[in-house]
Every structure is written in C-alpha cells, then in structure tokens.
Chain A
C-alpha cells in the first residue's frame, strides 16, 4: 500500500516534469542574452525589447486576440443555445445532429482546413480575417455544446419548477436560477472556444491572405526564417496570460461541481 502510493506520487511528478520542464526551459531562455541559446545563462530583457519593436508579431498577436475574443462570444452564445435545445426540446433529427457534433472534433484539422478553403472559395468568401473567424466558430462550436451539455445533463430541473411555484416568471427563472447554475458550464465552454481559436494554426494558415497573419502562423513563419529567443519571449507572455486566466476562472468556478 505504502509502496504503491509512493510509486503513484513518483509517477505524478514524472508526468508533471515531462509536461512543464520544456515550458520552463523555453521561458528561462527567453531571458537569456545569447541569440543562439548559448549557455551560461545571462539575464537580459533584450528579446522582450526586440519584441516590443516587432510590428509584425504584435499585429499578428492583436489579430489572434481579436479573432479569439469574437469567436468566443459567438461560439459560446450559439453553443449554449444549441445545448439548451438539445437537452430541453424534442425535435426531428435531434439524435442525428447530436451525433454529427463529434466527428469534426476527431477529423484532422488539416482535412477540415483544406475543405474549408475549398468551400469558401466555392461560395466566394475571400480569404481573410472574416473567413478565419467563420472557420474558428465552426471548429469551437462542438466543444461549447459538449461542455455546456454535460452541465445540463446533471442540471436539477426541479429547481426551475420550484422557482415557478414561488411565482417566478419563465424569464425570472432563467435569469435568477437557470443562468447562474449553468454559468460554470458556459464559462468552461468559453475557455475551450478561446483556446481552440487562439491556438489554431492549420485553419488560420489556410485561410489567411498574404500580409495578414495570426500569432501561431507568424510564429511558424518566424521559426522557419530563423529561430530567435524573441519567440520564447512571446510564448512566455502567452503562457502567463492564459494560465492566469485559467487559474482565475478556476477560482470562481469549480469545474463540474457547484460553486
């Protein structure tokens, strides 16, 4: 028993080391003066200074954040409504539609990206930020529906009935009972939507016109041209911001459980 739990702890630590050491190394080297990642480590903010002067990278970053934010808003709103429809109403084709939600999550992005490129060309949607946004919404919708749907599956319907018997109109019930209880699921779905979009490379790469890029695409381009610790710097910023947001959210809402 004791050996078992010790092994388990060791295993956990190994997994964590495997996950986090590369990230840590990357972050540390972003503060290293050498452009060739040479050691010994010499603390310098040179790469962060270079980053602040790199207009292309900054523009790409702004594009990425903009698309991710708009995508999150649209996908979360649509996905929550769809999840509500799936769980609350019976309609023709419901089961088929629900089944069709999952394949896009499993199909390689490369395939989806190619098909989107072809499809958008066919319906005459020009490559650009709008096309990228459409692609991202389509990709992140299933995640939102599944996450919100999971919350709805365990939703205690009796509390809505209780609210009605207490005199609450359907709208009051939604605003004061349903929405707050659904919030952790919706926020979880929104996080997924943001991550799917912000992280998205293939679709953005396919749908971006020359001259306009998102951050992952720009980073990929930069790496191909020549790797500098500037990339480490921007990656570190992204990690700090996204982990901060995640931890903040987790503080307010415990996943799956009640507040």
Chain B
C-alpha cells in the first residue's frame, strides 16, 4: 500500500498540452477515478504514473520518492489495459506467473501465488486455457490477477471495463471493488463513463484540457459542481442565467432568472446587479400543474415525454429555453405534451457554476 502524488505535471505534444500543470495526491488504499472526455489528459496522467510517458515538467512521487528516472519495469506497479493485453501465447497460469518469474521468484512460491491469485478472481480450474478460449469477463479477471499477483504498490486501470457489455460490466464493477478492498491497494483508474466513476470511486477528479476542473467525493462533485463543464460532464444539468437582485437576511441571494421568475440560491462573493450562471439537475425539479409560480419556480409547456421504465424524461419549454426534467414513475399519471406546467425546486439544488 502506497501513496502516489503528482506535482505540477506538464506534458506537451507539439503545441497541445496533454497535462497542463496537474497536482494531486492519491491516498493509501484509495480508489480514485480520473474522469474526462477523450484528450483531456487523464490517460496521459495514468501513463506518466506508470512510466510510459516522461513529463516535461513536474514529478511523480510513489511513497514520497521521485520516480522520474525509474523505468516502467522497476516501478512495481500493476496495470490493467483496455483490451486486457494478455499474452496470447501463454496459458492463464503462465500469464499470471509471468510477473513473478521475471522477478526470479522460486518456482514453488510462483505456483502457490498464482493459485491464490486465480482463486481470488474466482478462476480456479481454468489455469491451462489460452486467453482466446476465455470470455471477455474471464479475460478481465486474468488481467486483474496478473496485475495483482506481484503485490504492486499501486494498481492502474485504463478504461478497464470498456470492452464489456453492460450486464457483465456491472458485475465486474462489484467484483473489482470487492478485490480492491480485500487487497487494500491504492487504485487509480481512468474512465469516460461517469456512472462507472461514481459507482466505483472513493474520490474522483474531472479533467478537461489537461487540467483538473474539480476533485472530491463522487457525491460532493455531483451535487456541487464548480463549473459548467463539470456539471454537464458528470450527469445532466439545466443551466439558468440570472442576475442578483438582492441579498436576503438568510444569506441567500435573490436572483432574477432570464427565463422568468425569481429564485433563491447560495452565491459566493457576488454583489447585487451581477450576472450569475446556475446549474439545476433534472431530477431535482418537481413538476406541478397548479399554474402557480412563487419563488424558486418557473412556468413552462411540455414539449415531449420519453418513458423509460423506471423514470420519465420531460422536455419543457420555459422562457426561450428548453429544460430537462426526470421524474420517477411512482404513479401511472403522466403529463401529456402541450400541458402547461410549473417547475419548482429547493434553493439547495440551484448551484452556482462558473461558465
């Protein structure tokens, strides 16, 4: 178990900065998700920690020691690749034994540890199979066993579940989490799948253009995104323009919304008269038909209704904007397209973001 830290990491490819001054710390035993669109620098960071990418500036520290001059094979890391990268010419057991054999581990110990690793990923009995004879999920498990059998300091996962179908993916997510907890290894994983990041991670970081936009616990980042990008990338969000009209005694600001109506919300360091951008998650909005608008509510007209089993998605025209709204299907009553409705929310859920 180890800590990993990156300080002021910069990596440029031509004029494009894949990493543009990234500093972060991965704590011992933590499951950390790096999230972002492709080309945002998350994979470059992972590969820099592994040693495949040398930084133009900054350091990678493993247990406080700068590993910049240490080649990949001497860093004692475990890594899982997108398409598993199993050795096709070796059996399952040989794949898992590889890391121990190149380290000169005694034969009897290799056999024991391979057996234990395969038992951990529940693949006992498949030792003699070739990777080609395994299903995607099984290959995944072999890759995990192979990465962990050498007891690395840190486990790096590069889009580990990307190649699996949805059902298997969810199963492997649970499995990955179980094994990670059991081993207690510091784990850093890269994904563009926000749901996967939220499900698996103790903490996440959102990347954009080589920088970290926001990091924190999944719920904190989801509920209180700091930028428009973070709010839009992690989940869905409606964005509302407004102007601060007054500061309430409660400390909340009163904001006149561009789409009509007024709302209260927590604003940091804004004075009366300033423009603000606010994010509102679609599931936080309550749909009403009373036609009454008070504070924290706007009127709208339903454009369309998409039923998807456990929930329904509404698109609603409000002012000159289209708002999205999710509603759990608690009853069979549906609001039909064309209806006049009222959208309302709690001031806690209107989050100020930077554009």
A173 to B98, CA, bound (A): 10
Q: How far is the CB of B188 from chain A (nearest CB, A)?
A: 13
Residues in B whose Cβ lies below 8 Å from that of A163: 87, 98, 102
Given contacts A161-B52, A258-B88, is CB(A167)–CB(B73) below 8 Å?
A: yes
A18 to B81, CA, bound (A): 50
A222 to B32, CA, bound (A): 78
Nearest chain B residue, comparing its CB with the CB of A168? B102
A204 to B342, CA, bound (A): 93
With beta carbons under 8 angstroms apart, the residue of A165, A176, A180, A259 that contacts B147 is A165
**What is the total of A-B residue contacts with beta carbons within 8 Å?**
75
A159 within 8 A of partner (CB):
yes
Q: How far is the CB of A182 from chain B (nearest CB, A)?
A: 10
Mask for A29-56, Cβ within 8 A of B = 1, else 0?
0000000000000000000000000000
Residues in A whose Cβ lies below 8 Å from that of B146: 162, 166
B150 within 8 A of partner (CB):
yes
With beta carbons under 8 angstroms apart, the residue of B71, B76, B81, B132 that contacts A162 is B81
Q: Are B102 and A165 in contact (CB under 8 A)?
A: no
Nearest chain B residue, comparing its CB with the CB of A173? B73
Nearest chain A residue, comparing its CB with the CB of B101? A176
A158 within 8 A of partner (CB):
yes
Residues in B whose Cβ lies below 8 Å from that of A77: none
Mask for B74-96, Cβ within 8 A of A = 1, else 0?
11111101110111110000000
Q: Are A156 and B85 in contact (CB under 8 A)?
A: yes
Nearest chain B residue, comparing its CB with the CB of A177? B87
Of A158, A162, A167, A258, chain B has the most CB atoms within 10 Å of the CB of A167
A191 to B86, CA, bound (A): 29
Q: How far is the CB of A179 from chain B (nearest CB, A)?
A: 10
B237 within 8 A of partner (CB):
no
A172 within 8 A of partner (CB):
yes
Residues in B whose Cβ lies below 8 Å from that of A165: 50, 72-73, 75, 77-79, 147, 156
Q: How far is the CB of A194 from chain B (nearest CB, A)?
A: 24
Q: Are A158 and B81 in contact (CB under 8 A)?
A: yes
Interface size class of B (residues with CB under 8 A): 20 to 34
B41 within 8 A of partner (CB):
no
B103 within 8 A of partner (CB):
yes
Q: Are A162 and B102 in contact (CB under 8 A)?
A: no
Nearest chain A residue, comparing its CB with the CB of B47? A161
Q: Are B85 and A162 in contact (CB under 8 A)?
A: yes
Q: Are A167 and B87 in contact (CB under 8 A)?
A: no
Which residues 233-259 of A have a CB within 8 angstroms of B? 258-259
A163 to B77, CA, bound (A): 11
Q: Are B73 and A168 in contact (CB under 8 A)?
A: yes
Q: Are A158 and B73 in contact (CB under 8 A)?
A: no
Q: Are B72 and A172 in contact (CB under 8 A)?
A: no
Q: How far is the CB of A184 from chain B (nearest CB, A)?
A: 10
Residues in A whose Cβ lies below 8 Å from that of B87: 159, 162-163, 177, 181
Residues in B whose Cβ lies below 8 Å from that of A9: none
Q: Are B89 and A167 in contact (CB under 8 A)?
A: no
Given contacts A168-B73, A169-B73, A177-B87, is CB(A161)–CB(B98) below 8 Å?
A: no
Residues in B whose Cβ lies below 8 Å from that of A164: 51-52, 71-73
Mask for A131-174, Cβ within 8 A of B = 1, else 0?
00000000000000000000000001011011111111110110
A residues whose Cβ falls under 8 Å from a Cβ of B: 156, 158-159, 161-170, 172-173, 176-177, 180-181, 258-259
A-B contact pairs, 11 of them (CB 8 A): A161-B81, A162-B79, A162-B85, A163-B87, A164-B71, A165-B79, A165-B156, A166-B150, A167-B74, A169-B73, A258-B88
6 new A-B pairs (CB below 8 Å) besides A163-B87, A164-B71, A166-B73? A156-B85, A158-B82, A158-B83, A161-B52, A162-B87, A166-B98
